[in-house]
């Protein structure tokens, strides 16, 4: 019974580093009775396995089939307990939770004074570190204990705790409203991408205005500001207002540099903020600021005290390499970017369990565009197939649509136009199904469909017609998104000027910096 799916326990075991495996065995061996335990034998067996195979486990004689599920659950729990004890994983949230647990145990034993002492100390740490949900839990436990541990100060103490609980509750409600809004806007972005019409625009604008809570910026703490900037960022992305994206992603990143301790407490949010800042700079084609921001990010994450764990390693791989590609796109130095392909392919294989399918497809699309730009259209098509053949329609539909359009162009450029008519029909149907057929795409499909009837000496004239037709959409509020995915105008200019597309883009980049 070989299981094709990834077994959760097996994935966890394989994710452990050498030091984590060593610590687990030391943790298990703290009591002599565990040295021959079945769960340790199962751990050693799974550690040696290349892929999960239940038959191998049952044939080993460690456990019977009826007991396997329980043994796996027990081993899973023991690994998590061991990881929790690892100093590497002892971040501020884990430490606060641990102290809250200690205080709860002392309270249950009737040691009220000791419990209150721990709670008072840990509450201050929680508030200082913007962990207001935990701080609220602490205050609620303090209120329970104070009702049972009577002192002369109880009247003043009751007022103090009531005010604290009210303030924390209001701050947590504000954070919740802003985080809900941010999450919903992010979901819209992943589902359909940018707004495509006045109707889409009004719908997003109405949703944002209805769900944005009233606030005074001076009353907001770090966490509330963070979610506020996130919500504005996604709103701006949806509307394709990239200058506004730059504004709010800059506020996001600056918020961390103004509160440097938060970089180490919330490294994931720090990395994401930098990624969106770089993405915004890429869309507004601000190459010098892009380069400076990327170098600043790389310098920060290379610092010795920057947090390190599997999740952060995966995000660093994803964001740094995607933006290194973008820098080469901005500067038109495509040949120099080829070394990144091997690094990205290796990284995808290494981090695949921690990177969602959407981000992997984005990387494949960027690599496809890279090969298209240097004229290697067959390799471009291979990477586009990875996206086109992906049946997960929950990922960004606009990415899938433009992958098909680029595939048509690449097939034409590669001289593989013998099935072009079939592909044109297939792409047309797909775009209609996705409700994503816009003027730029219509013109592209119309042009490619008519190529078979054009004589060679007429080709340049047809390229000029298409260029003139598409040029007017370059700054159109909804049509311009086509040029974010594929620099169609530079491709047409390369045919009109008889130059490689990479040279055209490079010349534009150099002109922009003058």
Q: What is the pLDDT of residue 4?
A: 41
Q: Is the pTM of this model over 0.85?
A: no
Whether 97 and 131 have beta carbons less than 8 Å apart is answered as: no
Handedness of CA 193, 400, 372, 478 (dihedral sign): negative
Q: What is the pLDDT of residue 25?
A: 86
Q: What is the pLDDT of residue 154?
A: 59
Q: What is the mean pLDDT for each group of 10 consecutive residues in the chain (514 residues)?
A: 64 87 85 68 90 88 88 91 77 88 91 90 92 92 80 67 90 93 88 80 94 92 95 93 95 95 92 96 91 96 89 94 93 92 95 86 93 92 90 64 82 76 71 67 76 72 84 80 75 85 80 65
Name the H helices within 374-458. Answer: 377-388, 397-413, 420-433, 439-450
Residues with Cβ < 8 Å from 402, sequence gap 6 or more? 365, 482, 485, 486
Please write the tens of the pLDDT for every residue from 69-78.
Answer: 999 999 999 9
User: How many Å apart are CA 380 and CA 363, to the nearest integer?
Assistant: 12
User: How many Å apart are CA 170 and CA 241, to the nearest integer?
Assistant: 31
505-509 own/partner pairs: CB under 8 Å, 24+ apart = 505/329, 505/332, 505/334, 505/373, 506/331, 506/332, 506/333, 507/332, 508/332, 509/287, 509/330, 509/331, 509/332
Q: How far is CA 326 from CA 184, 290, 385, 419, 484, in A?
A: 27, 9, 21, 32, 12
Q: Which two tokens stand for residue 69?
A: 């599920």
User: How many Å apart are CA 381 and CA 406, to the nearest integer?
Assistant: 8
Q: What is the pLDDT of residue 268?
A: 93
Q: What is the pLDDT of residue 433?
A: 67
Q: What is the pLDDT of residue 2?
A: 38
Q: What is the pLDDT of residue 367?
A: 95
Q: What is the pLDDT of residue 421?
A: 66
């Amino acid at each position: 019974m070989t299981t094709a799916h990834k077994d959760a326990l097996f994935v966890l075991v394989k994710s452990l580093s050498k030091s984590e495996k060593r610590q687990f065995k030391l943790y298990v061996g703290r009591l002599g009775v565990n040295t021959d335990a079945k769960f340790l034998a199962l751990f050693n067996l799974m550690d040696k396995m290349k892929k999960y195979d239940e038959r191998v486990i049952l044939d080993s004689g460690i456990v019977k089939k009826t007991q396997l599920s329980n043994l796996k659950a027990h081993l899973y729990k023991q690994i998590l307990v061991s990881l929790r004890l690892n100093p590497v994983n002892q971040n501020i949230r884990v430490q606060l939770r641990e102290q809250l647990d200690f205080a709860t145990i002392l309270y249950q034993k009737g040691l009220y004074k000791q419990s209150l002492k721990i709670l008072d100390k840990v509450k201050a740490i929680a508030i200082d570190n913007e962990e207001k949900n935990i701080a609220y839990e602490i205050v609620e436990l303090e209120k329970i204990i104070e009702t049972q541990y009577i002192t002369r100060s109880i009247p003043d103490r009751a007022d103090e705790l009531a005010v604290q609980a009210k303030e924390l509750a209001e701050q947590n409600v504000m954070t919740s409203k802003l985080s809900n809004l941010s999450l919903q806007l992010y979901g819209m972005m992943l589902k359909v991408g940018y707004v495509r019409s006045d109707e889409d625009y009004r719908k997003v604008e109405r949703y944002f205005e209805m769900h944005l809570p009233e606030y005074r910026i001076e009353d907001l703490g770090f966490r509330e500001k963070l979610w506020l900037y996130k919500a504005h960022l996604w709103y701006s992305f949806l509307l394709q207002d990239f200058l506004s994206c730059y504004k709010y992603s800059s506020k996001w990143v600056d918020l961390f540099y103004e509160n440097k301790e938060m970089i180490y407490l919330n490294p994931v949010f720090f990395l994401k903020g930098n990624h969106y800042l770089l993405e915004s700079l890429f869309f507004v084609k601000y190459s010098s600021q892009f380069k400076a921001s990327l170098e600043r990010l790389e310098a920060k994450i290379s610092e010795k005290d920057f947090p390190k764990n599997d999740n952060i390693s995966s995000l660093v791989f994803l964001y740094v390499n995607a933006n290194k590609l973008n820098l080469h796109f901005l500067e038109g130095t495509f040949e120099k970017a080829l070394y990144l392909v091997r690094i990205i392919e290796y990284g995808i294989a290494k981090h695949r369990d921690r990177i969602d399918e959407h981000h992997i497809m984005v990387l494949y699309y960027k690599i496809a565009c890279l090969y298209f730009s240097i004229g290697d259209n067959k390799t471009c098509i291979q990477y586009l197939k990875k996206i086109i053949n992906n049946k997960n329609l929950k990922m960004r539909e606009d990415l899938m649509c433009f992958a098909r359009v680029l595939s048509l162009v690449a097939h034409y450029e590669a001289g593989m136009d013998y099935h072009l008519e079939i592909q044109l029909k297939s792409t047309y149907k797909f775009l209609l199904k996705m409700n994503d057929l816009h003027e730029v795409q219509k013109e592209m499909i119309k042009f490619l469909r008519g190529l078979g009837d054009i004589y060679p000496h007429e080709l340049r004239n047809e390229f000029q017609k298409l260029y003139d037709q598409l040029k007017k959409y370059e700054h159109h509020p909804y049509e311009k998104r086509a040029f974010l995915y594929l620099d169609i105008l530079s491709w047409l200019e390369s045919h009109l000027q008889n130059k490689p597309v990479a040279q055209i883009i490079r010349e534009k980049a150099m002109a922009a910096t003058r």
